[in-house]
Amino acid sequence: MYALFVVLNEIDYMEDILSGFVENKISGATILDSQGMGSAIANSSNEDIPLFGKFRMLIGDSHPYSKTIFTVLEDEVMVDKAVEVVRETLADVEDNGAGFMFTVPVGKVYPIN
């Protein structure tokens, strides 16, 4: 089993990704509101550290918030399907910072009834 995490900066594509998951029999995803470290630093009020001010100018408001989607998948075949859904959905996005994905092996899953 694998946990797939999708950190999605282009949040307008989230529903399309979830629809693609459902079409590929991928269910049970969880969505969290998230914010990257760079955005948190850029939007902080800490004016005492000169680096933060320069970083704030560099990053601006390009992606202040994101969504993190995660799901547990049975095998690598399902991981490949989920990754393909995300890649196809974001294929026409020109922004290099649209997001990223990674997997983590899962030892056991315990449903709570």
Report the 10 Å Cβ neighbour count for 52.
15
What is the CA 20 to chain-centroid distance, rounded?
15
CATH code assigned to 2-34+65-105? 3.30.70.120
- For residue 4, what pLDDT band results from cuts at 50, 70 and 90? very high
Indicate if the alpha-carbon torsion angle 49, 50, 52, 53 is positive or negative.
positive
- pLDDT band of residue 51 (cuts 50, 70, 90) is low
Q: How much is the mean pLDDT over the chain?
A: 84
Which tokens is 80 given?
């490949």
Question: Sorting pLDDT into bands at 50, 70 and 90, what band is 111?
Answer: confident
Q: Where are the domains of the chain?
A: 2-34+65-105
Which candidate, 12, 65, 3, places its Cα nearest to that of 30?
A: 3
